[in-house]
């Protein structure tokens, strides 16, 4: 067996360990007994350590060197795999395996601490786990040569080759317009009917209907409840998305559509890449572009609701039977500053992301004491959105990310939102009658276009190169801002 074949075999094994770890994480967040957090941390930590040790072994380093000498086409599957392996090896070799194991174990235990603290709305109960996670992430940063900003090292794990300064520049371009649009309260939009009696069994059936409607291969998906929606799974034929059901509203509907976008990305990765590190999304930002595209550009659009609203009314006739479609669409697109990021409208959502991005930099640079995070959080929510935070559960504890040490993650939500509009406009140009297809309940044209122009590349190329191949441009906030102006630039009529 030549060097490239042996390298592929090693990388397949490492990818398999990552897939098993994801299944353990999915289980923890959906059905694991709460008391098993420490044990689960030992198991996930072990798997992460074993994968790390395999990656940084002298044998793998030698196989990468030998494969690099083969003069492979850089656009080929193998050329991209070797390039990705080199990047992963060079990063991983600087990090002790023991630290990787500690980080994974702390994430598992921290997640359970977060669940309990959120239920009690008590940040103090979460603080020890947060302190441990932050301390481990700072030790991780110290493993690398200094960058322009320490945060660059953490950001690179989630959005490869993107620097903090570039994210800041993009956000500074967006921020004034979001603030101005958010300040224009949409008087006269009645959304009171969105709060009512929405039986959970019907919401669960609705989630399954949506996933089937948008399209999957048979017997390859699950939809499960969880405190904080996410997507996971072990590969293209084992996709597991989650949502959170509330008995008095339909927020689960948009969470399900959002997570469908994530799941579809993994589902449509080519079989040839499926068991390799190249067989997943290019970055969290690209992943988020897919979920935000389905959630907002499909799920909040007039064409979609011309098709789907009668079905929704049939499921919830008591709450929505007397509500006209136009009123419903106006309500789900209402701009109103609120507390919870995942339930925020399209305009204020970006401000939620920006404040988290800023707080994370404050954490990494020691500009805020962790015990003071609730106060810092509440102050930023007030500054950006003019909303008072009533408790920790609806404030600093609302997101699970810091419980797993995922610092550097939050900016990808807004980066992905920006990219979603670029991708949508490219799909519109190529498909031509996309709105008409959606109004007819035909989602295959969009699904197949995304499969060909985004998902087919997997992780072969950098996020920005993947975006360029799909749209002709790297990240550009202008289409996103133009879209918001078209949709929200004038007050909605009463």
Residues with a catalytic annotation lie at 259
The position carrying tokens 């404040």 is 355
The answer to whether 174 and 418 have CB atoms below 8 angstroms apart is yes
The answer to whether 239 and 233 have CB atoms below 8 angstroms apart is yes
Question: What secondary structure does DSSP assign to 279-334, as a single string?
Answer: SS-S-HHHHHHHHHIIIIIITTSHHHHHHHHHHHHHH-HHHHTTS-HHHHHHHHT-
Two tokens, residue 134 = 């932050």
Number of C-beta neighbours around residue 93 at 10 A: 15
CA-based end-to-end distance of the chain: 71
* φ/ψ bin of 281: left (φ > 0), alpha (ψ from -120 to 50), beta (otherwise): beta
CA dihedral 466, 290, 418, 402 (to 10 degrees): -100
- Which H or E run contains 235? strand 231-235
CA proximity to 189, closest of 321, 323, 303:
323
The answer to whether 160 and 462 have CB atoms below 8 angstroms apart is yes
SS3 198: coil
Question: What secondary structure does DSSP assign to 95-154, as a single string?
Answer: S-HHHHHHHHHHHHHHHHHHHHHHHHT-HHHHHHHHHHHHHHHHHHHHTS---SSHHHHH
Which residues 6+ apart lie within 8 Å of 17 measured at CB? 47, 48, 50, 51, 54
What is the C-alpha to C-alpha distance for residues 393 and 397, in angstroms, rounded to an integer? 5
CA angle 351, 112, 279 (to 5 degrees): 70
The residues pairing with 239 across neighbouring beta strands, listed in sequence order, are 221, 233
């Amino acid at each position: 067996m030549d060097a490239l074949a042996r390298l592929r075999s090693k990388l397949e094994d490492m990818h398999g360990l990552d897939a098993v770890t994801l299944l353990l994480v999915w289980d923890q967040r959906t059905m694991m007994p709460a008391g098993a957090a420490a044990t689960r941390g030992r198991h996930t930590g072990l798997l992460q350590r074993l994968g790390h040790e395999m990656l940084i072994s002298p044998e793998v380093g030698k196989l990468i060197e030998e494969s690099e000498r083969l003069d492979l086409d850089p656009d080929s599957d193998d050329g991209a795999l070797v390039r990705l392996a080199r990047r992963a090896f060079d990063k991983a070799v600087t990090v002790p395996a023991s630290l990787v194991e500690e980080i994974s174990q702390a994430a598992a235990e921290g997640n359970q601490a977060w669940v309990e603290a959120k239920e009690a709305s008590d940040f103090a109960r979460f603080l020890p786990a947060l302190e441990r996670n932050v301390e481990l992430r700072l030790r991780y940063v110290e493993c690398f040569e200094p960058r322009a900003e320490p945060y660059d090292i953490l950001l690179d794990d989630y959005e490869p080759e993107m620097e903090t300064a570039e994210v800041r520049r993009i956000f500074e371009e967006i921020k004034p317009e979001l603030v101005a649009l958010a300040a224009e309260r949409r008087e006269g939009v009645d959304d009171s009917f969105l709060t009512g009696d929405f039986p959970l069994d019907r919401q669960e059936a609705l989630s399954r209907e949506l996933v089937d409607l948008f399209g999957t291969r048979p017997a390859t998906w699950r939809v499960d409840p969880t405190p904080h929606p996410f997507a996971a799974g072990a590969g293209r034929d084992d996709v597991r998305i989650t949502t959170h059901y509330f008995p008095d509203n339909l927020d689960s509907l948009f969470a399900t559509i959002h997570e469908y976008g994530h799941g579809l990305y993994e589902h449509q990765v080519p079989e040839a890449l499926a068991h390799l590190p190249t067989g997943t999304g290019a970055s969290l930002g690209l992943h988020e572009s897919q979920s935000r595209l389905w959630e907002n550009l499909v799920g909040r659009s007039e064409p979609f609701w011309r098709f789907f609203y009668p079905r929704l009314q049939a499921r919830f006739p008591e709450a929505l039977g007397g509500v006209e479609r136009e009123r419903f669409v106006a309500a789900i697109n209402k701009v109103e500053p609120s507390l919870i990021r995942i339930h925020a409208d399209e305009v204020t959502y970006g401000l939620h992301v920006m404040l988290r991005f800023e707080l994370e930099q404050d954490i990494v640079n020691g500009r805020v004491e962790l015990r003071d995070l609730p106060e810092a959080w509440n102050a930023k929510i007030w500054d950006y959105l003019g909303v008072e935070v009533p408790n920790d559960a609806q404030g600093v504890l609302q997101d699970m990310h810091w419980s797993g040490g995922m610092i550097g993650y939050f900016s990808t939500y807004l980066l992905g939102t920006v990219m979603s509009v670029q991708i949508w406009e490219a799909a519109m140009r190529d498909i031509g009658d996309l709105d008409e297809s959606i109004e007819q309940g035909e989602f295959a044209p969009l699904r197949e276009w995304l499969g060909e122009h985004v998902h087919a590349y997997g992780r072969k190329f950098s996020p920005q190169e993947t975006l360029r191949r799909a749209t002709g441009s790297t990240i550009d906030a202008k289409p996103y801002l133009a879209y918001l102006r078209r949709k929200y630039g004038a007050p909605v009529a009463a």
